[in-house]
Amino acid sequence: MYERIRRLAAIATLLAGALVLPFAAQASDVPNIAAASDLQFALPDIAVAFERATGQSVRLSFGSSGNFRQQIADGAPFDLFLSADASYADALVRERRTLDAGVIYAIGRLALFVANDSPIAPDAELRGVAAALAAGRVSKFAIANPAHAPYGRAAQQVLTHAGLWRSIEPHLVLGENVSQAAQFAASGAAQGGIIAYSLVRAPGIAQRGRYALLPASGHDPLVQKMVLLQRADATARAFYAFLQQPAARAIFERYGFDLPPQPMMGTPSVRRAPA
């Protein structure tokens, strides 16, 4: 019986030992960056370039812009928010949760992506989608959730303009963000998907299927805006400035983003002096 107690005590000691691991968050001098999931591949490259150039690092979190906008309003500890559209960034500006009015860093493009064994032939006019739909060969088609993901909204506009929305709606699977929609399409679980062009170009996805870049005229422009948030420190500001430099712009371009017509160089206008 006492043997058992001793064993219990040993387990308790083990557990207590694990507690020596620090409880509090680690030093918060590394800024948290909330980024739309279409930046899943471009932004890590830019962060590496930033680290090489300045020796400073950033922590990246990817998700749906709408969710991040909500979480930031609820007090999530992010320093910089790269939204996949302007409205979510602007809403935070209106609510005075930002240090500046924001900067447009890229224009997103859509692509039709189909897995290698898909019955859909990819083309920019979605004729292949219409044909496959008419032939009853599309059981699932992936887009991001139009309710809170900007790429989902744009995909809905493209499908509506092509006159396909009604017929494709029963077949839609909605990704929580555009990256999940890409996952659905690339895995072949959905016969195709309208996703971010920036994701289609990434090596992990490109080899899994074929794609067609969709014309930008088919949907409202995916103006991607970033804003510095209240708690941004010097590193976050430096990263914000770096994202507007030629080196970062070149990486955005390489991943298939269009660049804002007016390159905004130098330090962004910041409303409040650093604390």
Provide the binding-site residues for another protein, judged by CB under 8 A: 1-2, 4-5, 8, 11, 15-16, 18-19, 21, 23-26, 32, 34, 37, 40-41, 59-63, 71, 73-78, 177, 179-180, 182-183, 186, 202, 204-205
Whichever of 1 and 273 has its CB closer to another protein, that residue is: 1
Whichever of 62 and 141 has its CB closer to another protein, that residue is: 62
First to last CA, the chain: 61
Whichever of 27 and 135 has its CB closer to another protein, that residue is: 27
Q: Rounded to 5 degrees, what are φ and ψ at 55?
A: 80, 0
Least Å distance, CB 75 to another protein, is 3
Whichever of 156 and 177 has its CB closer to another protein, that residue is: 177
Q: Rounded to 5 degrees, what are φ and ψ at 156?
A: -60, -40
Nearest to 231 by CA among 33, 61, 24: 33
Give the C-alpha separation, 115 to 208, whole Å.
Answer: 6
Least Å distance, CB 270 to another protein, is 23
Give the C-alpha separation, 157 to 237, whole Å.
Answer: 35
User: Rounded to the nearest 10 degrees, how much is the dihedral formed by the CA atoms of 240, 252, 84, 155?
Assistant: 180
Whichever of 112 and 182 has its CB closer to another protein, that residue is: 182
Whichever of 75 and 263 has its CB closer to another protein, that residue is: 75
Least Å distance, CB 164 to another protein, is 26
Least Å distance, CB 195 to another protein, is 12
How crowded is residue 75: how many other Cβ atoms within 10 Å of its Cβ?
10
Q: Residue-wise over 31-42: b if at least 16 C-beta within 10 A, else e?
A: bbbbbbbbbbbb
Least Å distance, CB 26 to another protein, is 5
Axis-axis angle for helices 86-94, 65-73 (nearest 10): 10
Whichever of 68 and 242 has its CB closer to another protein, that residue is: 68
Whichever of 8 and 124 has its CB closer to another protein, that residue is: 8
Cβ-in-10-Å burial (0-12, 13-18, 19+) of 49 comes to middle
Cβ-in-10-Å burial (0-12, 13-18, 19+) of 22 comes to exposed
Least Å distance, CB 83 to another protein, is 15
Least Å distance, CB 46 to another protein, is 15
Least Å distance, CB 89 to another protein, is 17
